[in-house]
């Protein structure tokens, strides 16, 4: 056999089902990139206490906010581009364990203390209908 006909010997081993599987895998990868890596950068923090807006802050400078609730004070820490609940008097600390929120639409809820923190601005990755 001449060398020019053996350039891609593995190509002879492919069957129509193999080609279909490769095309479906490629389509899945492209679809995943389009749907999962969207959303914009947040530009503000919305803090709620007792169902009312307590504060709306920009994400451009570092600051700490103490938010009163029925159980005590919740400490919210803001840094450029991100925010988190640093401490909360609630028993399970779910909102503290969420760590830094960096994507638009992300929310940390301290239910026992009736305090919530959410990032807004840009295009959010999801909304409350997904829960």
pTM exceeds 0.85 for this model = no
Tens digit of pLDDT for each residue in 4-43?
556 678 777 888 888 899 999 999 999 888 777 665 678 8
Count the Cβ atoms, other than its own, within 10 Å of residue 13: 8
Tens digit of pLDDT for each residue in 47-60?
999 989 999 999 98
Distance CA 112, CA 22 (A): 50
Average pLDDT over residues 70-97: 93
- Given a contact cutoff of 8 angstroms between Cβ atoms, the answer to whether 74 and 85 are in contact is yes
């Amino acid at each position: 056999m001449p060398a020019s006909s053996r350039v891609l010997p593995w190509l002879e081993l492919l069957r129509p089902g193999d080609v279909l599987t490769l095309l479906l895998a490629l389509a899945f990868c492209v679809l995943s990139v389009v749907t999962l890596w969207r959303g914009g950068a947040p530009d503000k923090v919305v803090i709620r206490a007792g169902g009312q807006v307590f504060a709306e802050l920009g994400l451009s400078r570092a600051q700490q906010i103490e938010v009163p609730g029925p159980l005590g004070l919740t400490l919210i820490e803001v840094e450029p581009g991100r925010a988190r609940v640093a401490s909360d008097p609630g028993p399970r600390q779910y909102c503290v364990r969420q760590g830094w929120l960096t994507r638009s639409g992300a929310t940390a809820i301290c239910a026992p203390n009736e305090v919530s923190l959410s990032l807004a601005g840009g295009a959010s990755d999801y909304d409350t209908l997904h829960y």
